[in-house]
Amino acid sequence: MPETEDLPPIQVLLDQNVPREVGSWLQRWRSTWGVTHTSEVGLQGKSDAEVFYWAQENDHLIITFDEDFADQRSFPVGQHQGIIRLRVWPTTVEEAVNALSRLLGQVNDLELVGALVIVGRHRIRIRTSRGGN
Q: Where are the domains of the chain?
A: 11-132
CATH no. for 11-132: 3.40.50
Angle at 23 between CA 50 and CA 11, to 5 degrees: 60
Q: What is the pTM of this model?
A: 0.91
Average pLDDT of the residues in 85-89 = 97
- Residue 56: phi and psi, rounded to 5, are -70, -40
Query: Average per-residue pLDDT in the chain?
Result: 92
Give yes or no for residue 4 having a pLDDT over 60: no
Angle at 120 between CA 118 and CA 123, to 5 degrees: 90
Q: How many CB atoms lie within 10 A of CB 5?
A: 7
DSSP-derived letter for residue 126 is E
Quote the CA–CA distance of 64 and 15 in Å, as a whole number: 5
